[in-house]
């Protein structure tokens, strides 16, 4: 099957902390509703998904506005946590997911992503993995957005930031979600995290000696599904909006795109 022929569903994570100071400062309930170029941040993400020509149905998790509704097939109540929202979004789509169809999960705070970039990520994704996580090289991000602040991890293959979207086989979510919850719960407890990841792997990761291939193998073993990293050349995939400097950047980029 040609990857361009694959139909996908999408879950857009648009929830957030109702007490988020960033959202409150801009007069909205949650961050994805902050206006950029006069429109909610999430609307730019939804347009990119729909414009890609790859997305069949969209479930949106979190508060919405009427401006978003025509681009959403299923509206899902915010369940309060990232993984709970992920599970609820995939569940909302499950009745109509066809055999072999996979789900793109994307946060609603990456407004600089374009339809062509969504198409490229989906067409590049390996079809033999239950979980695909796009990553972006540091030099790509810094060339596209000079001065932007991101969190990076150094491995032997380069220095990367994680993407704000990923691809999964919805039939496997029940297999890896409990383990993923366990890993996230341990992320601030070094000894517990080392026990889960393996002290050797953790030491290699902290010293930059770990390869992407070895990391894929370890994550696959932990989660019980085949996991693959996808190195993408699109800086927007790894650049979300979570502070005023990011908002200024997004305003400038989107103003240029629509000019």
The structure's pTM equals 0.92
Annotated domain spans of the chain: 3-258
Fold (topology level) of 3-258: Spore Coat Polysaccharide Biosynthesis Protein SpsA; Chain A (3.90.550)
Find the radius of gyration of the CA atoms of the chain.
18
- pLDDT computed for residue 258 by the predictor: 60
Please report which confidence band the pLDDT of residue 44 belongs to, taking 50, 70 and 90 as the band edges: very high
Half-sphere exposure of 59 (CA within 13 A, CB side): 23
Average pLDDT, the chain: 91
**What is the DSSP annotation of 129-160?**
-SEEEEEEEHHHHHHHSTT-----EEETTEEE
Q: CB count, 10 Å around CB of 175?
A: 13
Q: For residue range 206-253, what is the model confidence (pLDDT) as tens digits?
A: 888 999 999 999 999 999 999 999 999 999 999 999 999 999 999 999
Question: pLDDT tens digits, residue range 130-173?
Answer: 999 999 999 999 999 999 999 999 999 999 999 999 999 998 88
Strands 131-137 and 165-168: antiparallel
């Amino acid at each position: 099957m040609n990857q361009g022929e694959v139909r996908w569903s999408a879950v857009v994570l648009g929830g957030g902390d109702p007490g988020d100071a960033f959202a409150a400062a801009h007069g909205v309930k949650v961050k994805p509703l902050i206006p950029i170029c006069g429109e909610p941040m999430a609307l730019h993400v939804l347009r990119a998904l729909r414009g890609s020509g790859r997305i069949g149905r969209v479930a949106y998790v979190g508060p919405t506005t009427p401006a978003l509704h025509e681009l959403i097939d299923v509206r899902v109540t915010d369940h309060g946590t990232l993984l709970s929202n992920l599970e609820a979004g995939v569940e909302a789509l499950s009745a109509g997911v066809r055999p072999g169809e996979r789900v793109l999960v994307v946060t609603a705070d990456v407004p600089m992503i374009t339809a062509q970039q969504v198409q490229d990520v989906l067409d590049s994704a390996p079809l033999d993995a239950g979980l695909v996580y796009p990553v972006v090289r540091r030099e790509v991000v810094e060339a596209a957005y000079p001065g932007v602040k991101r969190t990076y991890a150094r491995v032997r293959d380069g220095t990367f930031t994680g993407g704000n979207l990923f691809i999964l086989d919805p039939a496997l979510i029940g297999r890896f979600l409990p383990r993923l919850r366990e890993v996230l719960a341990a992320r601030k407890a070094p000894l517990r995290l080392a026990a889960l990841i393996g002290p050797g792997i953790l030491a290699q990761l902290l010293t930059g000696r770990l390869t992407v291939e070895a990391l894929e193998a370890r994550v696959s073993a932990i989660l019980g599904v085949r996991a693959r990293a996808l190195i993408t050349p699109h800086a927007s995939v790894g650049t979300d909006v979570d502070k005023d400097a990011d908002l200024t950047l997004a305003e400038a980029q989107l103003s240029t795109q629509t000019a």
